[in-house]
Every structure is written in structure tokens, then in C-alpha cells.
Structure 1
Amino acid sequence: MRSVAAVIVPFVVMLALATVGTPPGASAALPGVPPTSAPWVPIRDIRNNFYRQIGNFALLMRRIVFREDLSLVEVVSGTTQAAGAGFNYRLLLRVSDGEGRIGRYQVVVWGVPKSRDWTWKVVSFNRVAGN
């Protein structure tokens, strides 16, 4: 018969190893999105087509999930933040709805540029004042 110590010690060691690997405050708001590790940095060349693609991606996901007919008019401004292997992109978008009304939306998208191994994720999508 095994002693109590022979059963408890491996369990305690396994539990300790599981908790050591996660630094304090490292939980992500959205499953699969890594924790942030840097401050937000303004995007200098907001007219770059790359940011337009990110905005269109956020609108496409919104269309698929909520069946909203939204079209990108322009990317107004944005900031980036290092987060795990990729970046958070916080963009302010001017968007047209199905009836032609223009509104502003702030989106945060996480992704790894030029990678096919990581799935891009829409972290947040909010309507803000203005048009």
C-alpha cells in the first residue's frame, strides 16, 4: 500500500508548477487573446491599407455574428499595443449602415501580422459619439 506522502507530494508539486507558469495579472479578457505588455502607441500612417483591412475584418465579423450591414468609410485614427506574440489594434472607424447613415465605432482587434498560425480576434466593438 502507498503512503499518504507518496500520493500528496506529486500532487502538490504538480499544483505548484501549474501556478508558477502564470504571472500575476496575466489573465486575458477574451479567451485566446494574450495579456498586454506595453503602452498604447499612436499609429503614424493611419492611411496605410493594412489598418483599413483590420477595420474591414472587424466589420465582417460584426456582420457575420450580428447580421448588421456596415461598410467602412474610413479609418480615422488608431493606436497599437504589444500583446503576447502579436498586437492589439485600437481603431476609430467611420462606418456607414445599410441606410447610408454614418457613425463612429471604436474597435480593438488582436492579431499577428503576416502569420497564418494565429487567428485574428475582435476584442471589442463599440459605437461612439459623432459621425
Structure 2
Amino acid sequence: MRSLPLLLLGAVLLVAATLPEGTSAKWTAANPHGVVIQQVGRFAVIVYDLAHRAGMTYVGVARGETEEAVGGGTIYRLVVAAAKPDGSRAQYECLVWGVPGSSLTTWKLCRFRKIAMA
């Protein structure tokens, strides 16, 4: 029974030792006017709005970055602008994971939060 924690620790160390060096992902700037980036931004606002019934509409992408995800796909970190029914607008930071060219059901909105304006 005492050897189980040691066995688990050994397995974790073995996996960590076999990972290739330099596997840290790097964020790459994305063109906020690019078609895919615009689609991902629109997806983020629509999914958030459907889940929270906020009445938001997509305005555009202010800036964005992409990163290859471990295990496949792409992570998109975007700042999107959205409007509320009263006409007010705000910017939101969103994080979306997906595989370009795949079906909509494989995409996930991981984070969507309002950016505090200074």
C-alpha cells in the first residue's frame, strides 16, 4: 500500500523526463481582420449569448493571438467587441479552442470575460 504513492511519483517523473524539450507553445499575433479570426470572434459572442441570454451582438475583433494546442487544434485568444441591446458596447477577452475546418460541435468557448476599462 505504501508503494503506490512512490509508484505514481515514479510514473509522473518518467513521463516528464520523456517529454521533448522546447515543447512550450508560443502565441503568434493574428490578423484581427482575417476571415477565420472574425469567425472565431463571432462564435465566441454567439455561444456566450446563447448560454447567458445577454442579448449581445458581435461587433468585431480588436486583436488576437493563436497558439497550437497540445494534442491538436488551435487556441485563439481574442479581444472582441460586443454590443448590448441598450446600444452600449464593451470589449471581452475570450479563449476559444478548435480545429479549423472541423464541424462546429468540436469547438469550445473556454473563457469569456469583460475587460475592465481604465
The TM-score, its normalising length taken from structure 1, stands at 0.68
Matched ranges for 1:77-116 at <5 A: 77-83=63-69, 84-116=71-103
Number of equivalences:
103
| 1: CA distance, partners of 2:54 / 2:15 | 39
Structure 1: stretches of 5+ with no match in the other structure: 1-11, 25-35
1:57 aligns with 2:43: yes
| 2: CA distance, partners of 1:59 / 1:23 | 38
Aligned-pair CA distance for 1:115: 2.0
Structure 2: stretches of 5+ with no match in the other structure: 17-22
Larger helix proportion of the pair: 2
**RMSD value, Cα:** 2.7
> What secondary structure does 1:68 align onto?
coil
| 1: CA distance, partners of 2:100 / 2:78 | 16
Aligned-pair CA distance for 1:41: 1.1
- Over 6 Å off, 4+ runs: none
1:71 aligns with 2:57: yes
> What secondary structure does 1:98 align onto?
coil
The structure having more radius of gyration, on CA atoms, is: 1
Instruction: Render the CA deviation track for 1:53-76: whole Å, top value 9, x for unaligned.
Output: 111111111122111111111110
> What secondary structure does 1:54 align onto?
helix
Q: Percent identity?
A: 33
